[in-house]
Amino acid sequence: MAVAFALALALLAVPSRANAWVEMHVARDDVRVTVAPDGQAKVEHKVLLLVSGGPLKSFTIRGVDSDAMLEDGAYVIREKDDLASSLENAVPLRVERVADAASGSADLAVVIDGGRGISRGRYLAVVRYRTQLASSGAIRVEGSSARLDWTGPRWDDGLDTTRAWFVFPAAPLEPKTIEPSDDDDSAGQGTFLSTLARRPEGDVLEVVRPYASRGERVLWSIRFDARALTIAGSRAQPGSDHLARDDHGGAGRPSLVRLVRDARDTAFIIGALALFLLVTSLVAAHAIEVRQRAAARGQQARPLIPVAIAVRAIAAGLMFVAGLWLELHEPKSLPGALLVASSVIWIWHRTARARPALRGPGTWLCVRVDEAFAMSRPPRRVFDPSTWPGALMMLVIVVGFAAAGRLVAEKSLYHGVLVALDVVPLLALFFTGRASSLVPDLTVDTIPLLSKVVRRVEARGGSCRVVPRVRVPQGEPDTDELRIVFLPRDPVRGLRAIELATAYALGPGGHVLLPEILVRFQEGSPCQPIVERLEPYGRAQRGRNLDERVVAFLPKLPTLAMTSELVLALLEHTSAPAPHKKRSLAAGRPRPEQVAQLRDAARTGDPGFVISR
């Protein structure tokens, strides 16, 4: 009895094998159907599985093509490894086709890793097979076009979003989806969203169905060019291009869709040609303007690629249009965007460089203010955004590309943004080769800065004398520099001039004018100690004469405000102090009664008596 009781306790202590709990949900089924010219297709399913609980050992794909011929290489992998394009942790699948006589389709029984299964997580299962779409009636040739009706598998839980890619051989006419409203047989199938990518090796049509209900087999209907097939009856007969069936099955009249498509292709060709002519004309006109502006200064234009203007204009137009075409027709837009951006090398002009040369002797002449500021200036061109013609042209170009991008964005927002941004290389027409890229003429290019400083000083500085001076080189008919002389109304003795001069330096966007204020005074005069107190903030040098000294001051920044403030400060320091008013001689004499009091005080000897004046 005791032995039997001990055996019973031992049997109860041995743990029994627990039944594992597992739950699987299909989140997505991405299908890729590659159609061959002979009507055979390769179908690839990428099924996203959400697994909870114990190991998932198998699952079933219900409702595939009845003639499915399975291919090797099926596997399942974690979603994160698939996103990283790594197959190191892939688990093999064993797939078997099971016929379903009731529905006329077949099921695929999938066993994971020989029955060991996978644990909880997100997995992507990949299964491939081949099917004969032409012999099964899924592909029907209808005149010059063909129709594909392919039905996907069913899923018990339904799908929030189902997606399919259909790859057809390259053909003149592009494939497109047949909406449920286009065909009564497709009624109730819901709305499809499609995106087409045309490539040399074939056309890829991506179709998205936003929702699939439980147990529903989604019907995908595609119409494509029959010339993509080599099966009997797929070749269009001579003359059938003009008398072809339309999308609604009508025969004996021109296809409305084909007419629209041909008109669209013609419009695209005309638009590309017009864009090429526009870009070429703009680049050529800009290059001619830059060359004329440089020739008027006796300088030479410096394009980034020094070739003939016609070559640069045609190359820029070809690269721009070709890049735009690649952006709109290739699945990857980077090559097209790089080609469009590279067209700027044919537009760009480098900054002209000054030839260092010593300036010869010359004569300084005084002129009136109105004469100095009315000197002839170089004409403003249409590619200068600081003038209204240039600003208007730049605005028209920018708005034109923005409008084109808006039209393209109605079909593809991504491509619409690309088209709008393609205007950036053309902005080099307005920001390179400008007047600032040439070596400045210190007579005419300094007029805007000097005139504004004069107006600001006269408005804030009260009474001061302004005398423009121009320098005429010896033996030359034209002036080479303009300066402005400021003098206080009552200057300190020894001050000869406060000159506002300009120099230039090469900056990142061209030449920059740098104002400089020169204080000229006589050596040993009362003005010298005043200026010497300011000398630590400037630079001392010799003057034009032996008894003249000069101290040059530079504003902290070469701006109008700081230059004007520096001129006003120097005018204030070099103005003579206001003289004290002298009392009249009569006011300084004592009155008669004061004289009498003074005499009495002197006679009496009173020392505390003081006469107040």
Average pLDDT value for residue range 185-194: 59
Residue 526 three-state SS = coil
Q: How many CA atoms lie within 13 A of 180 on its CB side?
A: 11
Angle at 41 between CA 39 and CA 43, to 5 degrees: 165
84 vs 98: CA distance, rounded Å: 34
Mean per-residue pLDDT, 171-179: 85
Highest mean pLDDT among 94-103, 106-115, 522-531: 522-531
Domain boundaries, the chain: 22-228, 262-437, 447-573
CB atoms within 10 A of CB 112: 24
395 pLDDT above the threshold of 90: yes
Per residue in 39-89, pLDDT (tens digit) is 889 999 999 888 887 788 888 888 888 888 999 889 999 888 888 888 888
Alpha-carbon gap, residue 236 to 229, rounded angstroms = 11
Where are the strands (E) in 133-192, listed by range? 139-142, 145-151, 162-168, 176-177
The model's confidence at residue 137, banded by pLDDT at 50, 70 and 90, is: confident
CA distances from 397 to 122, 152, 254 (A): 50, 49, 39
In degrees, to the nearest 5, what angle opens at C-alpha 399 toward C-alphas 398 and 402? Answer: 90
562 closest CA partner among 516, 501, 495, 505: 516
User: Average pLDDT of 9-34?
Assistant: 67
d(CA 85, CA 450): 66
CATH of domain 447-573: 3.90.1150
**Parallel, antiparallel or unpaired: strands 510-522 and 495-507:** antiparallel
In order, the DSSP letters of 347-395 are: T-BPPP-PPP-----EEEEE--HHHHHTS--PPP-TT-TTSHHHHHHHH
Q: Which residue has better confidence, 262 or 494?
A: 494
Q: What is the pLDDT of residue 8?
A: 45
Per CATH, the architecture of 22-228 is what?
Sandwich (2.60)
pLDDT surpassing 90 at residue 27: no
Sequence-separated (6 or more) residues with CB below 8 Å from residue 384: 390, 430, 434, 435
Q: CA 353: distance to chain centroid?
A: 30
CB count, 10 Å around CB of 146?
A: 26
Average pLDDT of every residue of the chain: 80
Q: Is residue 261's pLDDT more than 60?
A: no
Question: Residue 276's pLDDT band (boundaries 50, 70, 90)?
Answer: very high
**Collapsing DSSP states into helix, strand and coil, what is residue 335?**
helix
Pairwise CA distance, residues 564 & 554, whole Å: 11
